[in-house]
């Protein structure tokens, strides 16, 4: 039980070893073995939920010496808290679905494809469980490579351009992050920290200028991954060209690396800088929401439309996270999961019709409801989940983000962001109407077959999750609540220093020790106590502003 995180993470690698012994030609066996491996991984990961204690501590921790090269001491240090728990589960949940979606879609180089998928899974899981900054960086890079191949080899017409664009974009960010990481490490050594352990860096006191530079480097890397406006242009290309499973994983998990990076690293490591840049990031997030919605509206390719809708959804996540309060960050975390489920499902849906018609142009479709009633129902449910209809998962996250951001300093940003709910309805319902409603006049569409058993099996778990997370999100929220409260406490005290003394960059280090030592304290207590104070602190200035 104590090694369960490692087991979950490296099971897919075992699967890869297994695949190596299976001949290339037995595609069926390759597929089934891969599916079995991912299902087993998922089942094992369920043990993590059952063993997870609802507190703010990192759990299932493993800490072993790994590399010691001169001044660089890296540990194999892993563990999860409520924040990473659900992202791990999301990853293991989405993998079998992705594998199942490739059964008829990928016929060439099946073996290599499956190996890519499994490597990718290990990379993603590793990134979520790493508590060592260097280990995180390694996994972060590991994810990149299988994805690059998936787009470049199994992609569509424009695959090379898309793959290279994806690679370069992400590499630029990664390199910046690496530089910042090394820089941070040396800062740590000066302060007596002897390894790359994230928990040690949380207690590091950095002056404002350093924080700003480091935050910018990390934030830039993560912003590319999210992706935030205006660094999003790799996403539509990558999504459109990637094979279905690639798009699903890209949307469901890889993009979360960016937002997770903010929550896990950029914000708690550099809280003052994070506060300083919150208005800028919120502005970009809100622009992203509106911008992506408007662009999604006029897309002619269904897959591109879904890709742009991702940008809008992730904009909501960023807004919530930078509200710096429990509601906003909880909403952001939920929205990450919701986006994984709903947008993953949308890409699967696009995959279904692409496999049948080999086109993704909206104008090639119309009236499919008549021919494919089960597909229509599934598509409709997912559409409304993506739109954030109350009762589905999309609503809970979006609502908490908006209400959290509204309570914070980001009130006006929230008002603009809320108008995104109108636009999301416009583009999603419009595409649904053009694909599913109307006359079934294209002869090619008249021969379409409805979803088969395998495809239904793919969608049923997703649909169940859509409703469970929409109607009873309590278990999920409860498990991550302590960790989020701790995070809020970690990033809050510094913010007061900044807020109460706007010109107080030299003063910040004075205020910092208190905040950071609090983060080191055992859980619960710091989160619970300062809460009401924090809330009564902020608003009094605001009502006057509002009534003017």
Work out how close the CB of 462 gets to another protein at its nearest, in angstroms, rounded to a whole number: 17
- Within 348-377, which residues bind another protein (CB under 8 A)? 367, 369-370, 373
Q: Is residue 171 part of the contact set for another protein (CB under 8 A)?
A: yes
User: Please, which residue, 172 or 504, has the CB nearer to another protein?
Assistant: 172
User: Please, which residue, 249 or 436, has the CB nearer to another protein?
Assistant: 436
Q: Is residue 543 part of the contact set for another protein (CB under 8 A)?
A: yes
Backbone angles phi, psi at 130, to 5 degrees: -70, 135
Work out how close the CB of 545 gets to another protein at its nearest, in angstroms, rounded to a whole number: 11
User: Please, which residue, 40 or 297, has the CB nearer to another protein?
Assistant: 297
Q: Is residue 194 part of the contact set for another protein (CB under 8 A)?
A: no
Q: Is residue 179 part of the contact set for another protein (CB under 8 A)?
A: yes
Is 160:238 a contact under the CB 8 Å cutoff? no
Is 189:144 a contact under the CB 8 Å cutoff? no
User: Could you tell me the CA-to-CA distances from 342 to 217, 378, 379, 449 in Å, in that order?
Assistant: 31, 11, 10, 23
User: Please, which residue, 42 or 167, has the CB nearer to another protein?
Assistant: 167
Backbone angles phi, psi at 69, to 5 degrees: -125, 100
Least Cα distance to 91 among 122, 136, 116 occurs for: 122
Q: Is residue 193 part of the contact set for another protein (CB under 8 A)?
A: no
- Within 229-248, which residues bind another protein (CB under 8 A)? 230, 232-234, 236
Which of 330, 385, 386, 490 lies at the binding interface for another protein (CB under 8 A)?
330
SS3 109: coil
Least Cα distance to 263 among 312, 321, 184 occurs for: 321
Work out how close the CB of 428 gets to another protein at its nearest, in angstroms, rounded to a whole number: 10
User: Please, which residue, 265 or 427, has the CB nearer to another protein?
Assistant: 427
User: Please, which residue, 280 or 298, has the CB nearer to another protein?
Assistant: 298
DSSP 228: P
Work out how close the CB of 8 gets to another protein at its nearest, in angstroms, rounded to a whole number: 27
Run of H or E including 80: strand 72-80
Place of tokens 């290309």: 237
Work out how close the CB of 442 gets to another protein at its nearest, in angstroms, rounded to a whole number: 13
Q: Is residue 443 part of the contact set for another protein (CB under 8 A)?
A: no
Least Cα distance to 19 among 142, 123, 113, 151 occurs for: 113
Least Cα distance to 429 among 291, 341, 297, 308 occurs for: 297
Q: Is residue 156 part of the contact set for another protein (CB under 8 A)?
A: no
Q: Is residue 50 part of the contact set for another protein (CB under 8 A)?
A: no
CA within 13 Å, CB half, 121: 37
Which of 41, 244, 299, 445 lies at the binding interface for another protein (CB under 8 A)?
299
Both tokens assigned to 238: 């990558």
- Within 116-155, which residues bind another protein (CB under 8 A)? 145
CB crowding 119-133: b at 16 or more within 10 Å, else e: bbbbbbbbbbbbbbb
Torsion of CA 37, 43, 46, 47, to 10 degrees: -100
Number of Cβ within 10 Å of residue 419's Cβ equals 13
- Within 383-442, which residues bind another protein (CB under 8 A)? 384, 389-391, 395-396, 399-400, 402-404, 406-407, 411, 414-415, 418-419, 421-422, 425-426, 429-430, 433, 436-440
Which of 43, 68, 168, 514 lies at the binding interface for another protein (CB under 8 A)?
168
User: Please, which residue, 39 or 403, has the CB nearer to another protein?
Assistant: 403
Which of 50, 108, 443, 547 lies at the binding interface for another protein (CB under 8 A)?
547
Is 198:61 a contact under the CB 8 Å cutoff? no
User: Please, which residue, 40 or 176, has the CB nearer to another protein?
Assistant: 176
Q: Specify which residues 390 forms β-bridges with.
A: 392
Provide the mask over 475-494, with x wherever binding to another protein is found by CB under 8 A and - wherever it is not. Answer: --x---x-------------
Which of 13, 182, 501, 523 lies at the binding interface for another protein (CB under 8 A)?
182
Work out how close the CB of 191 gets to another protein at its nearest, in angstroms, rounded to a whole number: 15
User: Please, which residue, 316 or 395, has the CB nearer to another protein?
Assistant: 395
Cα–Cα distance between 223 and 318 in angstroms, integer?
A: 10
Cα–Cα distance between 248 and 244 in angstroms, integer?
A: 6
Which of 17, 46, 209, 298 lies at the binding interface for another protein (CB under 8 A)?
298
User: Please, which residue, 58 or 234, has the CB nearer to another protein?
Assistant: 234
Q: Is residue 192 part of the contact set for another protein (CB under 8 A)?
A: no
Work out how close the CB of 18 gets to another protein at its nearest, in angstroms, rounded to a whole number: 26
Provide the mask over 458-477, with x wherever binding to another protein is found by CB under 8 A and - wherever it is not. Answer: -------------xxxx--x
Work out how close the CB of 384 gets to another protein at its nearest, in angstroms, rounded to a whole number: 6
By rule CB under 8 A, what count of residues binds another protein? 81
Work out how close the CB of 406 gets to another protein at its nearest, in angstroms, rounded to a whole number: 4
Q: Parallel, antiparallel, or unpaired for β 59-69 and 72-80?
A: antiparallel
Q: Specify which residues 10 forms β-bridges with.
A: none
Of the candidate spans 113-121, 291-299, 454-462, 489-497, the one that interacts with another protein by CB under 8 A turns out to be 291-299
Cα–Cα distance between 436 and 438 in angstroms, integer?
A: 7
Query: Rg of the chain's alpha carbons, rounded to an integer?
Result: 23
Torsion of CA 173, 397, 120, 231, to 10 degrees: -20
The helix, strand and coil proportions of the chain, stated in percent and rounded to the nearest 5, come to 75, 5, 20
Cα–Cα distance between 346 and 221 in angstroms, integer?
A: 26
Q: Is residue 331 part of the contact set for another protein (CB under 8 A)?
A: yes
Q: What is the DSSP string of 354-366?
A: HHHHS--BGGG--
Which of 297, 456, 501, 523 lies at the binding interface for another protein (CB under 8 A)?
297
Q: Is residue 167 part of the contact set for another protein (CB under 8 A)?
A: yes
User: Please, which residue, 308 or 352, has the CB nearer to another protein?
Assistant: 308
Place of tokens 């998936």: 150
């Amino acid at each position: 039980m104590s090694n369960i995180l490692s087991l979950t993470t490296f099971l897919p690698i075992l699967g890869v070893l297994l695949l190596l012994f299976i001949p290339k030609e037995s595609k069926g066996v390759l597929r089934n073995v891969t599916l079995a491996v991912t299902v087993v991984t998922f089942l094992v990961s369920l043990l993590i939920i059952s063993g997870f204690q609802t507190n703010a501590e990192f759990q299932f921790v493993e800490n072993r010496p790994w590399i010691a090269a001169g001044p660089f001491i890296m540990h194999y240090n892993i563990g999860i808290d409520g924040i990473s728990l659900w992202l791990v589960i999301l990853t293991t949940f989405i993998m079998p679905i992705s594998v199942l979606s490739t059964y008829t879609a990928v016929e060439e180089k099946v073996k290599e494809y499956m190996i890519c998928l499994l490597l990718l899974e290990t990379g993603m899981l590793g990134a979520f469980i790493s508590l060592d900054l260097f280990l995180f960086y390694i996994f972060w890079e590991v994810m990149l490579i299988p994805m690059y191949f998936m787009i470049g080899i199994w992609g569509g017409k424009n695959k090379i351009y898309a793959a290279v664009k994806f690679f370069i974009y992400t590499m630029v960010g990664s390199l910046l992050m690496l530089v910042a990481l090394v820089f941070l490490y040396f800062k740590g050594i000066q302060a007596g920290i002897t390894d790359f352990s994230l928990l040690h860096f949380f207690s590091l006191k950095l002056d404002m200028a350093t924080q700003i530079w480091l935050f910018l480097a990390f934030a830039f890397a993560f912003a590319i991954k999210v992706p935030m406006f205006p660094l999003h242009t790799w996403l539509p290309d990558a999504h459109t060209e990637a094979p279905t499973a690639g798009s699903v994983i890209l949307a469901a998990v890889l993009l979360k690396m960016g937002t997770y990076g903010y929550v896990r690293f950029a914000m708690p490591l550099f809280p003052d800088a994070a506060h300083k840049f919150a208005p800028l990031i919120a502005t970009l997030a809100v622009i992203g929401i509106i911008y992506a919605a408007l662009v999604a509206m006029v897309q002619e390719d269904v897959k591109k439309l879904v890709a742009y809708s991702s940008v809008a959804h992730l904009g909501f996540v960023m807004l919530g996270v930078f509200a710096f309060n429990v509601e906003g960050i909880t909403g952001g975390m939920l929205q990450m999961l919701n986006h994984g489920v709903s947008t993953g499902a949308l890409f699967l849906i696009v995959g279904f019709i692409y496999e049948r018609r080999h086109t993704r142009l909206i104008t090639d479709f119309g009236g499919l409801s008549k021919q494919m009633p089960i597909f229509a129902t599934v598509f409709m449910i997912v559409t409304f989940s993506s739109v954030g209809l109350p009762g589905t998962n999309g609503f809970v996250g979006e609502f908490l983000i908006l209400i959290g951001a509204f309570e914070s300093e980001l009130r006006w940003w929230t008002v603009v962001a809320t108008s995104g709910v109108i636009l999301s309805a416009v583009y999603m319902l419009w595409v649904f109407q053009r694909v599913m409603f109307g006359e079934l006049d294209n002869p090619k569409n008249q021969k379409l077959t409805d979803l088969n058993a395998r495809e239904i099996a793919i969608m049923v778990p997703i649909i169940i999750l859509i409703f469970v997370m929409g109607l009873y999100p309590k278990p999920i929220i409860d498990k991550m609540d302590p960790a989020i409260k701790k995070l809020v406490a970690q990033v809050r005290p510094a913010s007061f220093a900044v807020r109460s003394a706007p010109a107080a960059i030299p003063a910040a280090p004075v205020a910092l020790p208190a905040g950071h030592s609090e983060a080191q304290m055992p859980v619960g207590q710091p989160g619970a106590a300062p809460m009401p104070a924090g809330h009564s602190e902020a608003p009094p200035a605001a009502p006057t502003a509002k009534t003017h």
